């Protein structure tokens, strides 16, 4: 070994005892020394490489600069002492591996005499780093990119739109009826459905499009360099593809749909959170319109999109309450059998009315109201306006009109709500029989003691209660015995497909029979076609509700005359 090497590593150094591959090169880049560890790393015997160029050991595709050595000696003074470089090592058998190397200059009295490179195989470390990087950017269940990476790519698309006017389209996807698979078959089935459906959806979009799982059963789709007309075709193809998909789990078959909010990305678009919020709201509008469809937000319709994304939900809901900009709609609940029923039921639904007249469906703002604790205020507003309407129309009440009013889980825990109802009934001079309060099964069970207390107090006044979404929980029948309700609304997930799914049909039949035994009237929601209605009638379900029966209409448009004539 030369004196220069001895000066660098110390006298008497045994290069073969070094843990790293040791390679000494001369001024021309030819190999002079090659230790046993280097032989193991590169697969060459020392005699095979002595006198040959260092580029023999480096993959030129990965690091051509090091391969041709042009930079090593002319830039010798700039070699960073002790700092590692990355390169792709090239073995004798042609295999490429990840290596980290350090360079040290060898000097003599005349200056730089050569260099030493120490190589270390870091393939496992680099593989682990790549794996961690992949996991940080991808969803572990479906393999799609995750929300963080999707937002990053959405930011790039927005920057392109602003810099060169490129047009892109953002889609926010929410699966319809996914919850039924999770609730009836468990999370393992739900996870498998998401895996299969992710592959199905990838096959429905263009190769360059970006599909991501944003969380739960929500997905994002970025259609890059795509005009709206083309985007509509892609989205329609996606909706049709998901609609044709059938998920099989333990002898059961499930159908799902997808509601999609579509937002155009233009140079005038706001930031990424605003775009996602606008697309999310558009998705809720698609669901409210009947599910399994798209709702489009044009870039030029920026005012609506900005309202959906830039203003905080708390401020929007609070303003709507203060400005009296909530809107009540009614949806009839009619007897399944053709009878001269003495009562006429209507469920009240609440929407939020923007200042420009845009209606925001309950699915878009109720979750936010629940998150921020605003539901008791909304529920009180609904009770107040509903009671005022009935007070203004005594002929309707005398003719048998009964309003069904939904109560949130937060209102069930509102200690003063029963007193509020009693005061409003007295103020409007209403019969409590004109009111049915609805509570969901999940909310009732989660707040069982408060639910029992509230039901007891309001039933003592004369009001009635309905248990909504019954059958969605695993312990539905056990809890039912403890809840003194008058009506049972069968979960619409079972009703909607009962004509095609024998299991759903059996569930509706079982719930209806339990209701009959307990002397509780049953209501089937989500009645969307004649065949389902016919089967409900055959099972002797008491009442039906759904888009096939009637779509919701503004409460102020309810005509009093038919009910007053019956009186």
> What would the pLDDT profile of 78-108 be if each residue is shown by its tens digit?
444 444 566 788 889 988 888 887 777 787 7
What are 502's two structure tokens? Answer: 């024998």
DSSP designation for 49: H
Lowest mean pLDDT among 117-131, 315-329, 388-402, 421-435: 117-131
Yes or no: say if 455 and 479 are a contact pair by the CB < 8 Å rule. Answer: no
> What does the pLDDT look like over 210-251, one tens digit per residue?
999 998 899 999 998 888 889 999 999 999 999 889 998 888
| Rounded-to-integer distance, Cα 56 and Cα 96, Å | 12
Q: What is the DSSP code string of 485-545?
A: -SEEEE-HHHHHTTTT-HHHHHHHHHHHHHHHHTT-EEEE----SHHHHHHHHHTT-SEE-
**Per-residue pLDDT at 90:** 85
Task: Using pLDDT thresholds of 50, 70 and 90, give the confidence band for residue 48.
Answer: very high
Between 562 and 375, the higher pLDDT residue = 375
Yes or no: say if 536 and 546 are a contact pair by the CB < 8 Å rule. Answer: no
**Per-residue pLDDT at 3:** 41
* Residue 127 pLDDT > 80: no
Yes or no: say if 418 and 386 are a contact pair by the CB < 8 Å rule. Answer: no
Task: Using pLDDT thresholds of 50, 70 and 90, give the confidence band for residue 328.
Answer: very high
Task: Using pLDDT thresholds of 50, 70 and 90, give the confidence band for residue 181.
Answer: confident
* Residue 406 pLDDT > 90: yes
Q: Taking residues 337-353, report their average pLDDT.
A: 86
Between 567 and 444, the higher pLDDT residue = 444
pTM of the model: 0.51
* Residue 389 pLDDT > 70: yes
What are 127's two structure tokens? Answer: 């593989």
> What does the pLDDT look like over 468-493, one tens digit per residue?
888 765 456 767 777 889 999 998 88
- Domains of the chain are 3-127 (3.30.450.20), 138-309 (3.30.70.270), 313-566 (3.20.20.450)
* Residue 312 pLDDT > 60: no
Tokens 């930079």 locate to 71
> What does the pLDDT look like over 279-305, one tens digit per residue?
887 887 787 667 788 888 765 444 444
What are 556's two structure tokens? Answer: 């102020």
Yes or no: say if 209 and 219 are a contact pair by the CB < 8 Å rule. Answer: no
> What does the pLDDT look like over 507-516, one tens digit per residue?
899 999 999 9
């Amino acid at each position: 070994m030369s004196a220069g090497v001895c000066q660098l590593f110390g006298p008497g150094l045994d290069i073969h005892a070094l843990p790293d591959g040791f390679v000494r090169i001369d001024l021309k880049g030819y190999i002079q020394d090659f230790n046993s560890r280097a032989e193991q790393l590169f697969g060459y015997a020392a005699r095979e490489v002595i006198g040959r160029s260092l580029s023999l050991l480096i993959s030129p595709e990965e690091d051509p600069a090091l391969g041709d050595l042009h930079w090593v000696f002319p830039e010798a003074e700039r070699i960073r002492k002790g700092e590692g470089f990355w390169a792709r090592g090239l073995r004798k058998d042609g295999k490429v591996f990840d290596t980290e190397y350090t360079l040290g200059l060898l000097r003599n009295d005349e200056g730089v005499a050569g260099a030493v490179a120490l190589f270390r195989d870091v393939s496992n470390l680099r593989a682990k780093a790549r794996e961690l990087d992949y996991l940080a950017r991808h969803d572990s269940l479906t393999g799609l990119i995750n929300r963080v990476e999707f937002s990053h790519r959405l930011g790039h698309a927005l920057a392109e739109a602003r810099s060169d006017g490129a047009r892109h389209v953002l889609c926010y996807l929410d699966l319809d009826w996914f919850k039924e698979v999770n609730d009836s078959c468990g999370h393992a089935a739900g996870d498998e459905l998401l895996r299969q459906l992710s592959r199905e959806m990838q096959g429905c979009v263009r190769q360059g499009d970006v599909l991501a799982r944003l969380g739960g059963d929500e997905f994002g789709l970025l259609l890059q360099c795509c005009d709206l007309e083309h985007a509509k075709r892609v989205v329609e193809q996606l909706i049709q593809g998901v609609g044709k998909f059938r998920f099989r789990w333990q002898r059961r078959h499930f159908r799902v749909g997808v509601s999609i909010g579509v937002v155009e990305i233009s140079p005038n678009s706001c930031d990424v959170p605003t775009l996602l919020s606008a697309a999310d709201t558009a998705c809720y509008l698609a669901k409210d319109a009947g599910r399994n469809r798209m709702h489009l937000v044009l870039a030029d319709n920026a005012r609506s999109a900005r309202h959906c994304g830039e203003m905080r939900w708390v401020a929007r809901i609070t303003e709507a309450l203060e400005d009296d900009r909530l809107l009540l709609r009614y949806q009839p609940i009619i007897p399944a059998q053709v009878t001269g029923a003495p009562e006429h039921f209507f469920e009240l639904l609440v929407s939020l009315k923007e200042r420009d007249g845009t209606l925001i469906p309950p699915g878009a703002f109720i979750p936010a109201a629940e998150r921020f604790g605003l539901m008791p205020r909304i529920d009180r507003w609904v009770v107040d306006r509903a009671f005022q309407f009935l007070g203004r129309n005594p002929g309707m009440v005398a003719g048998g009109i009964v309003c069904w009013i939904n109560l949130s889980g937060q209102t069930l825990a509102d200690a003063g709500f029963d007193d509020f109802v009693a005061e409003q009934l007295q103020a409007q001079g209403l019969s409590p029989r004109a009111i049915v309060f609805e509570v969901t099964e999940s909310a009732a069970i989660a707040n069982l003691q408060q639910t029992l207390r509230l039901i007891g107090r309001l039933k003592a006044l004369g009001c009635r209660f309905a248990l909504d979404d019954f059958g969605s929980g695993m312990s539905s029948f056990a809890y039912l015995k403890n809840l003194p309700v008058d009506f049972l609304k069968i979960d619409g997930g079972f009703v909607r497909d009962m004509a095609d799914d024998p299991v759903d049909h059996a569930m509706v039949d079982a719930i209806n029979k339990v209701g009959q035994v307990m002397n509780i009237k049953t209501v089937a929601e989500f009645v969307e076609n004649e065949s389902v209605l016919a089967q409900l009638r055959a099972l002797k379900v008491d009442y039906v509700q759904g888009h096939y029966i009637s779509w919701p209409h503004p409460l102020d448009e309810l005509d009093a005359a038919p009910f007053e004539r019956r009186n």
